[in-house]
A and B are shown apart, each in its own frame.
Chain A
Amino acid sequence: MITAERKPMEEILDYISPFQRIILVGCNECVTVCAAGGRKEVGLLSSALQMAFMKDGKTLSVNEITLERQCDPEYVEELVAHISQADAVLSMACGCGVQEIAKRFPQKPVFPALNTKFMGASESQGVWSERCKGCGDCILGLTGGICPVARCSKRIMNGPCGGSTNGKCEISPDVDCAWYLIWERLKALGQEDKYEDIIEAKDWRPSWHGGPRKIIREDLVE
């Protein structure tokens, strides 16, 4: 899933301080699952913002709406009925959602309430870790299911580097060395020989080096 975190309140307040009526839009997908922008966080932020306004002797009216998915135009359409009563929109989705709303309502200021972080997985309740960079050319089949692109601080393809100590990365003892994990995993699979294979210099063109990417499924295109 795409993970995100709420922006500092100060920043959000800076964005919306000129306005009196906003729509606060949550998203029931990834950001709900990572507890950043679901119905609950919408409620909390709404209360907090209203209080911050009240403290300054101002009032803020907040229309709380949580969409099934902000990154689909059909869902965004649900906002149409409410948009005229709002001076601005504050989105609690990832960057995709914010942009989708901004596209739909070109006349309205749209602000992000979250910092979109990474594509990741839940480690345990309340803990998420980065797992994928979306490089467009997956090599997990070579690396025992552990991604050196996303999980090696240097993104090196034939690791580990000299900074790997006791299975940890030199940038922090809290960060696992991806290549150590890859080695352990290959060992468990009995595929130590794979480790010997040199991964050639990665072709980064499928990644964003070729500019913004697009997928077209011709069989689905109308």
Chain B
Amino acid sequence: MGNFEPIIVAFCCHYCAYTAADMAGSMRLSYPANVKIVRVPCTGKVDVQHILQAFQNGADGVYVAGCLEGDCHFKNGNTKAARRVIYAKKLLNEIGLEEERVEMLLMSAGMGERFAQTAFEITEKIRKLGPNPIKKAKKS
């Protein structure tokens, strides 16, 4: 498991986290290639179903990255997303997956550095958790 490279799906809001990721790009701030971004118009669009689907498909971690508290382009999509992430955590718990595998993050469009930094942190956290147990069972 020493060289386990997790696959992490990041649902990123077009108005903040996705822009922050582009910003990290223009600032050439490196972050782990493990993170794959799915662009959404608002984290309020992120469906628990898609979070589960990511895990079912083999993701080791998922995060939803929306705008800062109160900064949602659509008023409160980010707080709704945060509640759904909690719901997703409960579901994961119920089927025996670590709830830490899914997180909600907040950042603004200007936070290229924060995007890169959180990508590092989440990747490290998931690396410590080890592979998605579903995948492990699949392989064996």
Contacts and interface: CB of A to CB of B under 8 A. Distances in A.
A50 B58 CA distance: 12
Interface string A20-48: 00000000000000000000100110011
B95 A9 contact: yes
B94 A9 contact: yes
A10 interface: yes
Interface string B127-140: 00000011001101
A8 interface: yes
Contacts of B134: 51, 54-55
B68 interface: no
Interface string A45-62: 001111110111100000
Nearest to A59: B138
A44 B84 CA distance: 12
Interface in B92-108: 94-97
B49 interface: yes
- Tell me which of B56, B95, B133 has the highest count of chain A C-beta atoms within 10 A of its own C-beta: B95
A44 B137 contact: no
B37 interface: no
A54 B137 contact: yes
B138 A54 contact: yes
B140 A44 contact: no
Interface residues on A, range: 10 to 19
Nearest to B87: A44
A8 B55 contact: no
Nearest to B49: A43
Interface string B40-67: 0000000011001101100000000000
Interface in A54-82: 54-57
B91 interface: yes
Nearest to B95: A52
Contact of A48 (B91, B137, B138): B91
Contacts of A44: 48-49, 52, 91
A10 B48 CA distance: 20
13 contacts: A8-B94, A10-B94, A40-B49, A43-B49, A44-B91, A47-B52, A48-B94, A48-B95, A51-B56, A54-B134, A54-B138, A55-B97, A57-B137
Given A51-B52, A51-B97, A55-B134, 15 more contacts: A9-B94, A9-B95, A47-B49, A47-B55, A48-B91, A48-B94, A48-B95, A51-B55, A52-B95, A54-B137, A55-B97, A55-B133, A55-B137, A57-B137, A57-B140
Interface of B: 48-49, 52-53, 55-56, 91, 94-97, 133-134, 137-138, 140
Task: Rank and list the top 6 A-B pairs by shortest CB-CB distance, nearest first.
Answer: A9-B94, A47-B52, A52-B95, A57-B137, A54-B134, A43-B49
